Amino acid sequence: MSRTVVAATTDEAVSGVEDGSTVLVGGFGLAGMPFDLIDALIRQGARDLTVVSNNAGNGDVGLAALLRAGRVRKVICSFPRQSDSYVFDELYRAGRVELEVVPQGTLAERMRAAGAGIGGFYSPVGVGTALAEGKETREIDGRTYVLEQPIKGDVALISAHRADPLGNLVYRKTARNFGPVMATAATTVVAQVTDIVPVGHIDPETVVTPGIFVDRLVRAEARRLTVQGAR
Amino acid sequence: MSRTVVAATTDEAVSGVEDGSTVLVGGFGLAGMPFDLIDALIRQGARDLTVVSNNAGNGDVGLAALLRAGRVRKVICSFPRQSDSYVFDELYRAGRVELEVVPQGTLAERMRAAGAGIGGFYSPVGVGTALAEGKETREIDGRTYVLEQPIKGDVALISAHRADPLGNLVYRKTARNFGPVMATAATTVVAQVTDIVPVGHIDPETVVTPGIFVDRLVRAEARRLTVQGAR
Amino acid sequence: MTTRVPERTDRGPLTTDELAARIARDIPVGSYVNLGIGQPTRIAEHLAADAGIVLHTENGMLGMGPAARGDEVDPDLTNAGKVPVTELPGAAYFHHADSFAMMRGGHLDVCVLGAFQVSHHGDLANWHTGDPDAVPAVGGAMDLAVGARRVLVMMKLFARDGTPKLVPACTYPLTGAACVHLLYTDHGVFEPGRDGVRVRETYGITVAELRERLAVTLVV
Amino acid sequence: MTTRVPERTDRGPLTTDELAARIARDIPVGSYVNLGIGQPTRIAEHLAADAGIVLHTENGMLGMGPAARGDEVDPDLTNAGKVPVTELPGAAYFHHADSFAMMRGGHLDVCVLGAFQVSHHGDLANWHTGDPDAVPAVGGAMDLAVGARRVLVMMKLFARDGTPKLVPACTYPLTGAACVHLLYTDHGVFEPGRDGVRVRETYGITVAELRERLAVTLVV
């Protein structure tokens, strides 16, 4: 998409998100979670959101804070239940949020399909389980596959390590997780990064997300949260 | 797959290729072409091969030499015709080699599907053209897609820039092209590299092909061929 | 019937360079663009340096620079036509599956392709003459025709023997159906559509003359 | 009927650590391995340093090292259980689509998963108790169950209330059908199959006693 905009504030970076949007939220637990963009989204006020993310919030921060603020109608994720997912658990048990559980790799691949112009794909994962119920199956070379559909976002909120002003991104260790996939799969992609370096300062061989995928970029201090406990 | 073997010679690296194998050959024109592995494959002697590659050989080297040696029964590629594809052109016009033309991105995606355990996928590319004839089509959200099948290799021959002994690979510029995809899509993956550095000398953030995909590794001097002419 | 289509009859048809410059003018600032092999490559020379236009080459690169000269030539760095090129600051490399996912997924703003024929509905034929003796070769043409958000075609309006290349229906095998948004030719700029071909402007020829020479319905 | 199954009745059932060590012994040199969250994680402590076994974590890494301690803790580097870990020389990072392509595509040699139940055909149930009040959560379990070339299960043979977890048919929702190659438990090692469950070895219990306590056909 056209030129990446470097936003001055996180509020500017998330402006215009509409009620009812599908929002892809990066991160695996706390690693790679775009905390500042989520906080800005809470201030921005969009409601009735469908959130696609691996988890459904940890503790009181990030996605959990968005859930607590009552902005989320539905969560599509692979692993909502965690030792510290009490905000989601309470809303879910009270029937105040819908849940679609998707196998983790299928979640990633469905977003990749959206970003890659693939209309659907046959996956062997989940065949014969409750998560394939109602889905079309097909025998290919003696193996059974289930037809999976793309998941496309209106907005993606991701966190990366470093960017240049063209929107080229590099990540750090396992915080890379869903960021590169989500960056391909949403109409508007917003990335928070700890550092914006001049054009030419990122080795072209090491770019993970090329700037073509990134619409808005904003600098935000890294939060050094300690991650503990089982997923 | 299990541990990567560092072969002493290119002959050792390509040993055991059976007649009738499907061989994925990296490279786009000359960039990323595994010249030394192909030369070794010619010496090794396997016949009746199906070769999957973007092109069908340039000049008299690499894939063109394999074709001239009469070892190839069928070529699956996107762009056989080039200013210097005379070896293939002659064989094709004489009816001595079969050709399956596949759109370039479909070729890459079909190999990715094989490597990613996807049984098939719906692509919008080629719909309504001769290259989709005989293929199943499907309407998804008002758009027509064609069902594409994975392409799996028995062997992949690729060229990379640098490796460590675990088989982690990095590439150089546009010579990266098909290497990373083919490395995921064959039973036995053989990589020639200009340099093998000690474990720990490749930054884990920059690895393009992780060692899990590479079965055999061999060092070969870079050939500085000058590329000229239209594709 | 009066027409407000600009008819530049004070001059001849556009030269290839003029046509390349004409197309360059229509590419929005900040676009991500793929220029097909052959003539469209020359559009790059006419893009303003400060327009922030980023060139994609389907063999795995964004931020492609001009053709390499002398010592710059590196066999590991070529464009889709396999011509050695250079790298601009802010470039990125990626593999073929990622490159074509980018194309198929609608992330490129514009591609410009050459053509054998374009139909008045915007069908494109540019990969195969249909000659049974020819070696068919498609490359990335079908991926671009389907994937780019705007597909522009750059071609001469008439073949050397004078037959039109803008036709009611392609006689050559198709690359993509109804995929061409705008057709730029030496004799004029055309917009294919369901109700006929809208003429945007002409060079060295009038709309009336075009109506005589083309077998398609022209809308003004 | 005589049996040549090793019956270790001179000792009690295996402790969790002994079980982890037992599984570690069966993992071939040079394997690429994913150890599921929970008990399977402990197998890592029993892998020989010179065995060249490379650990995969599905959140995007090969070459995972032991748990991080003190200053080593980095919130950007965790395992699939979100516990901070370390990086070994020769590691590689990749994104989620690539990580699960690797799993689904059959590139991992071995995965070891925990389980609620395993059926005698090798069906696996480890993601959901079926309790309508429970929040369902699957993570990467289904991907691993289908994708790894060998799926090993590590679990206690009996639940706390004494009911067997090796069953004729899973009563909990399935993770994968006929996907378990070998089942390692505190009381023995079992190989599920079409004709029944082959007993490989027992600990603190005889095959005869197992036949009394389990409702599956045991083959020796």
Q: What is the pLDDT along chain D (220 residues), one digit of tens a residue?
A: 455 899 999 999 999 999 999 999 999 999 999 999 989 999 999 999 899 999 999 999 999 999 999 999 999 999 999 999 999 999 999 999 999 999 999 999 999 999 999 999 999 999 998 888 888 899 999 999 999 999 999 999 999 999 999 999 999 999 999 999 999 999 999 999 988 999 999 999 999 999 999 999 999 8
- Selected residue with higher pLDDT from C3 and C172: C172
pLDDT class of B226 with cuts at 50, 70, 90: low
Helices D96-104 and B104-116 cross at an angle (nearest 10°) of 70
Chain A CB contacts of B170 under 8 Å are: 205
**Which residue reads 């016949």 in tokens?**
B47
**Domain CATH for B67:** 3.40.1080.10
Sign of CA dihedral C30, C31, C37, C43: negative
Looking at CA atoms only, how far is residue D211 from chain A in angstroms? 29
CB contact under 8 A, D52 and B3: yes
C-beta of residue B165 within 8 angstroms of C-beta of residue B198: yes
Rounded to an integer, the average pLDDT of A223-229 is 54
What does the pLDDT read at residue B229?
42
What does the pLDDT read at residue D170?
97
Q: Which of B56-60, B67-71, B116-120, C189-193 has the lowest mean pLDDT?
A: B56-60
Interface test with A, best of D42, D59, D79 (most A CBs within 10 A): D59
C-beta of residue B112 within 8 angstroms of C-beta of residue D107: no
**H or E segment and range at residue C101:** helix C96-104
- Selected residue with higher pLDDT from A30 and A190: A190
Q: Looking only at Cα atoms, what is the longest distance across chain D?
A: 59
Q: How many CB atoms lie within 10 A of CB B80?
A: 23
pLDDT class of B48 with cuts at 50, 70, 90: very high
Interface test with B, best of D29, D31, D55, D62 (most B CBs within 10 A): D62
pTM above the 0.90 mark? yes
What does the pLDDT read at residue A97?
97
Note whether residue A133 is domain-resident: no
- Judged against a pLDDT cut of 80, whether residue B153 lies above it is answered with yes
**Residue of chain B whose Cα is closest to the Cα of A176:** B205
Of the candidates D102, D80, D139, which has an alpha carbon nearest to the alpha carbon of residue A54? D139
Of the candidates B77, B19, B11, which has an alpha carbon nearest to the alpha carbon of residue B38? B11
- Which chains, if any, share at least 3 CB pairs under 8 A with chain C? A, B
Residues of D with CB under 8 A from a CB of B: 28-32, 52, 54, 56, 61-63, 87, 89-94, 100-109, 146-147
Which positions ≥6 away from D61 have C-beta within 8 Å?
A173, A174, B204, D77, D87, D91, D92, D93, D94, D99
pLDDT class of A229 with cuts at 50, 70, 90: very low
Which residues constitute the domain of residue B9? 5-118+152-219
C-alpha span between C30 and C51 (Å, rounded): 6
What does the pLDDT read at residue A183?
98
Name the token pair of C132.
């049974």
User: Strand C124-125 and strand C117-119: pairing?
Assistant: antiparallel
C-alpha span between A146 and A151 (Å, rounded): 16
pLDDT class of A231 with cuts at 50, 70, 90: very low
CATH label, D7-219, candidates 3.40.1080.10, 3.40.50.300, 3.30.1330.60, 1.20.120.80: 3.40.1080.10
C-alpha span between B175 and B168 (Å, rounded): 16
Chain B CB contacts of A210 under 8 Å are: none
C-beta of residue B204 within 8 angstroms of C-beta of residue D76: no
CB contact under 8 A, A168 and C87: no
Q: Which of A71-75, C102-106, D1-5 has the lowest mean pLDDT?
A: D1-5
Interface test with B, best of C59, C94, C103 (most B CBs within 10 A): C59
Residues of C with CB under 8 A from a CB of A: 28-32, 52, 54, 56, 61-63, 87, 89-94, 100-109, 146-147
Please list, residue by residue across D143-154, b when 16 or more beta carbons sit within 10 angstroms of its beta carbon and e when fewer do.
Answer: bbbbbbebbbbb
Note whether residue B164 is domain-resident: yes
- What tens digit of pLDDT does each residue of C35-91 get? 999 899 999 999 998 999 999 999 999 999 999 999 999 999 999 999 999 999 999
Chain C CB contacts of B78 under 8 Å are: 137-140
CB contact under 8 A, A81 and D73: no
- Total number of residues shown for chain B: 231
Note whether residue A145 is domain-resident: no
- Judged against a pLDDT cut of 70, whether residue B224 lies above it is answered with no
State whether residue C56 is helix, strand or coil: strand
Chain D CB contacts of B2 under 8 Å are: 28-32, 109
Long-range contacts of A83-86 (CB under 8 A, 24+ apart): A83/A229, A83/A230, A84/A58, A84/A59, A84/A229, A85/A55, A85/A56, A85/A57, A85/A58, A85/D135
Minimum-distance CB partner of B164 among D62, D90, D103: D90
C-beta of residue D157 within 8 angstroms of C-beta of residue D203: no
C-beta of residue B78 within 8 angstroms of C-beta of residue B120: no
What does the pLDDT read at residue A83?
83
Looking at CA atoms only, how far is residue A93 from chain B in angstroms? 34
Of the candidates B35, B82, B73, which has an alpha carbon nearest to the alpha carbon of residue B54? B82
- The partner residues of A146 in beta bridges, in order of sequence, read A123, A137
Minimum-distance CB partner of B115 among D89, D101, D109: D101
State whether residue D56 is helix, strand or coil: strand
Minimum-distance CB partner of C104 among B99, B124, B180: B124
**Residue of chain B whose Cα is closest to the Cα of A149:** B140
Name the token pair of D75.
């919130």
CB contact under 8 A, C90 and A200: yes
C-beta of residue C24 within 8 angstroms of C-beta of residue B140: no
pLDDT class of B2 with cuts at 50, 70, 90: low
- Judged against a pLDDT cut of 80, whether residue A222 lies above it is answered with no
Of the candidates B111, B113, B186, which has an alpha carbon nearest to the alpha carbon of residue B153? B186
Name the token pair of C51.
């327009």
C-alpha span between B18 and D94 (Å, rounded): 33
Which positions ≥6 away from B16 have C-beta within 8 Å?
B188
Minimum-distance CB partner of A206 among B119, B121, B206: B206
Residue type, A45: G
Note whether residue B126 is domain-resident: no
Name the token pair of A59.
């503790």
Chain C CB contacts of B127 under 8 Å are: 146, 176-177
CB contact under 8 A, D77 and A88: no
- What tens digit of pLDDT does each residue of C152-161 get? 999 999 999 9
User: Strand D110-113 and strand D32-35: pairing?
Assistant: parallel
Which positions ≥6 away from C31 have C-beta within 8 Å?
A2, C53, C54, C109, C110
**Residue of chain A whose Cα is closest to the Cα of C103:** A116
- B141, burial (CB in 10 Å: exposed 0-12, middle 13-18, buried 19+): exposed
CB within 8 Å of chain D, chain A residues 118-177: 123-131, 161, 171-177
Q: Hey, where are the domains in chain C? A: 7-219
Distance, CA of B179 to chain centre = 7
C-beta of residue C87 within 8 angstroms of C-beta of residue C73: no
**Start-to-end C-alpha separation, chain A:** 35
pLDDT class of A221 with cuts at 50, 70, 90: confident
Which value, to the nearest 10 degrees, does the dihedral of the CA atoms of residues A108, A114, A115, A119 take? 120
Q: Annotated catalytic sites of D, by residue?
A: 58
What does the pLDDT read at residue C3?
56
C-alpha span between A223 and B211 (Å, rounded): 32
C-beta of residue B227 within 8 angstroms of C-beta of residue B15: no
**Which residue reads 């079965």 in tokens?**
B215
Which positions ≥6 away from D210 have C-beta within 8 Å?
D187, D188, D199, D202, D218
State whether residue D78 is helix, strand or coil: strand
What does the pLDDT read at residue A117?
98
What does the pLDDT read at residue A2?
63
Domain total in chain A: 1
Rounded to an integer, the average pLDDT of A56-67 is 93
**H or E segment and range at residue B218:** strand B216-219
Written as one string, the DSSP assignment of C156-196 is: -SB-TTS-BSEESS-SSPPSBSS--SEEEETTEEEE--TT-
- Judged against a pLDDT cut of 50, whether residue B60 lies above it is answered with yes
Name the token pair of A70.
């009552």
Which value, to the nearest 10 degrees, does the dihedral of the CA atoms of residues A53, A55, A60, A66 take? 30
